[in-house]
Amino acid sequence: MVWNILFNILSALLNLCSFALIIPILNILFKISTETYAYMDWTFAPFSLEAWKATPELLKNNFFWFVSDLIETRGGSFTLIVLGLFLILSTFLKVGTMCLAFFTMIPIRTGVVRDIRNQINRKITELPLGFFSEERKGDIIARVSGDVNEIETSIMSSLDMLFKNPILILIYLIGMIIISWQLTLFVFILLPIAGYVMGQVGKKLKRKSFEGQQQWGLLMSQIEETLGGLRVVKAFNAEKKIQERFEKSNDVFRRLTNRIYRRQQMAHPMSEFLGTVTIAIVLWYGGTLILSSHSPIDASTFIYYLVIFYSIINPAKDLSKSAYAIQKGLASMERVDKILQAETNIHDPAQPKPIALKENIRYTDVWFKYQHDWILKGVNLEIPKGQTVALVGQSGSGKSTLVDLLPRFYDVNEGSITIDGTDIRDATLYDLRSLMGIVNQEAILFNDTFFNNIAFGVEGATLEQVQEAARIANAHEFIMASENGYDTNIGDRGGKLSGGQRQRISIARAILKNPPILILDEATSALDTESERLVQEALEKLMQGRTTIVIAHRLSTIRNADLICVMHEGQIVERGRHEELIALNGYYKKLCDMQSF
């Protein structure tokens, strides 16, 4: 940033110097000046105010003495060549410093955007699951992509506005004041009027930009939903409906974008028109000064003054464009800030306690709600180490919620969950979740190789360990039958695999982690009979010697559980072994009867 400011100052000063050559060139061409100049000695005194005041006049005198002496000794034509060479050299240095100023700005621009993306990604991984249940995934993607790109443009404009344009304007203004303070005072009266007119357009832009970015997020959400549900869209012949919904939203976005761009495009012609009006007024006032009998400025100096003044218009114009871009960028920043400023209510304790499972997991009077209605109502449950506990019941009875509280995906509203007497909120999330392996109904896999999916979350896993885990999960054979074995890419979300194969990969991942607590969330409910048999075998191997919590709709998979808990409307209404619950002739018996045919 320091280098950028330095190069911008040098660029502006060199610009002034190159334009200063206009005066002697005009004097020579039109034989305007008849003054004679004598060389004056110059002694620079850095701490003398008088020396500083006298320096501009002394430099001007000696420069004109050099030019007039050159004309006398070598002629006007030769002098023009020398002045032209000076002009070329100073312009070369000016554009060189300008390029260096841009060059030093690039790492700032890309670095800031990289940091924002990293912050968003870090925040997304840290936020609790509850945040994402209220937000559309497509809208979040739009914020990371479109909004951050908008901020990049805005930041570049604001950095230019902060470091380049004000420096140029300030140095040019100082030059103008030195040439003629009367003319500059007149300009100062005109410029704020032009600036005010420009500012009125920018005020409305931020509001429209925010609406535009919101609509862009909606479009991205619809695309994400369409990609995720393409199979259903085609199965129900709903292509036309989906197309119409997207095209309608896209048209709303187009109309909003039209209004934004129209306002943006007003900046350039408006600033050019106002600049031309200002120059015409300055030309009239300056001409009046020159034509007066006691003129403080001659014709060639006035033309130099006009050139400098015209040079101010470009940075002033860029300043106005920057204002528009910043207004648009601020709208995007608000949307990005919604993620960055989102509060997470699940924190590590200030003084964490160590946690390990040696005796039991205990739910004590647990109450929980997502928003308004209670999902769990006073649940009490003890799971001894090494036992398998199954949770059954109708959809919406609170089974998955009860399990999600254990790894602290959500925190209980009332009551407590303890492992060997230690409240799970008193341990770090890392230590707590290290105790657990989770196999979900939908196998969540990544667009990577078999090896990296199985070794996911396990540092330094070897090929032998991964292969052993795959063998236990009945996955080794189909992995080795693939094109590159364990180095084969499985596609987006494991799209190249069958449902049973995906599930066995997720089981292998849990086996490799070797956790003392295992959570199986309907791990076999979406499989065919053959796949279910292979997956069930793998699960039985995985469950050996572990504390296991199983959520199941297919009651055949949990007959041998040590304890079966039947949930209904957020409460455990029955508990016991399979035979005991059948004998009760209650909820469990009804569930069994519905599944037997």
What are the tens digits of pLDDT across the range 347-375? 888 888 988 888 889 999 999 988 778 88
Q: Which residues are registered as beta bridge partners of 402?
A: none
Rounded to two decimals, what is the model's pTM?
Answer: 0.64
For residues 333 and 412, the model is more confident at 412
Per-residue pLDDT reduced to its tens digit, 448-461: 888 988 888 788 88
Confidence at residue 209, expressed as pLDDT on a 0 to 100 scale: 66
CATH architecture of 360-595: 3-Layer(aba) Sandwich (3.40)
Q: Average of pLDDT values for 567-589?
A: 87
Query: Domain boundaries in the chain?
Result: 2-340, 360-595
417 versus 40: the higher-pLDDT residue is 417
What is the band of 100 on the pLDDT scale with cuts at 50, 70, 90? very high
Share of the chain above pLDDT 70, in %: 84
| 14 within 8 A of 94, measured Cβ to Cβ | yes
pLDDT above 70 (res 28): no
CA 503 to CA 475: how far, in whole Å?
A: 9
Higher-pLDDT residue of 358 and 139 is: 358
Output the pLDDT for position 484: 86
Split at pLDDT 50, 70, 90, the class of 201 is: low
Tokens of 12: 């502006």
Q: Which residue has the higher pLDDT, 585 or 63?
A: 585
Residue 77 pLDDT class (50, 70, 90 cuts): confident
What is the domain class of 2-340 according to CATH?
Answer: mainly alpha
Dmax (CA) of the chain: 124
Q: Count Cβ atoms within 10 A of the Cβ of residue 226 and give its class: 0-12 exposed, 13-18 middle, 19 or more buried.
A: middle
Six-digit token string for 235: 């199965």
Closest by Cα among 187, 202, 216 to 335: 216
Least confident of 35-44, 242-251, 579-588: 35-44
> What pLDDT was estimated at residue 25?
73
pLDDT tens by residue, 476-522: 888 888 888 888 888 877 778 887 788 888 888 888 888 888 888 87
The reported pLDDT for the residue numbered 196 is: 67
Bridge partner residues of 379 (DSSP): 366
Outline where 292-346 has alpha helix (H): 299-340
Helix ranges (DSSP H) in 160-238: 165-179, 181-228, 230-235
Residue range 558-587: average pLDDT?
Answer: 86
- The model's pLDDT over 529-542, given as tens digits with 9 standing for 90+, comes to 666 677 677 777 77
Query: Distance between CA 164 and CA 157 in Å, rounded?
Result: 10
Over residues 146-157, the mean pLDDT reads: 76
Q: Look at residue 210 in the predicted model and tell me its pLDDT.
A: 67
Query: Taken in order 94, 96, 102, 104, is the CA torsion positive or negative?
Result: negative
Sorted by sequence, the CB contacts under 8 Å of residue 172 that are 6+ apart come out as 12, 15, 16, 308, 309, 311, 312, 315
Per-residue pLDDT band at 597 (split at 50, 70, 90):
very low
In this predicted structure, what is the pLDDT of residue 96?
92
The predicted structure's pLDDT at residue 365:
92
User: In the predicted model, what is the mean pLDDT of the chain?
Assistant: 79
Cα–Cα nearest to 8, from 107, 87, 88, 100: 100
Residue 557 has pLDDT above 60, yes or no: yes
Q: Which of the pair, 49 or 594, is modelled with greater confidence?
A: 594
What percentage of residues in the chain have a pLDDT greater than 90? 3
**pLDDT of 532:** 66
Residue 341, Cβ density class (10 Å: 0-12 exposed, 13-18 middle, ≥19 buried): exposed
**pLDDT digit string, tens, across residues 296-346:** 677 777 888 888 887 787 777 677 667 667 776 777 787 788 778 877 778
For residues 504 and 535, the answer to whether their CB atoms sit within 8 Å is yes
Residue-wise over 26-60: b if at least 16 C-beta within 10 A, else e? bbbeeeebeeebeeeeeeeeeeeeeeeeeeeeeee
In this predicted structure, what is the pLDDT of residue 214?
A: 72
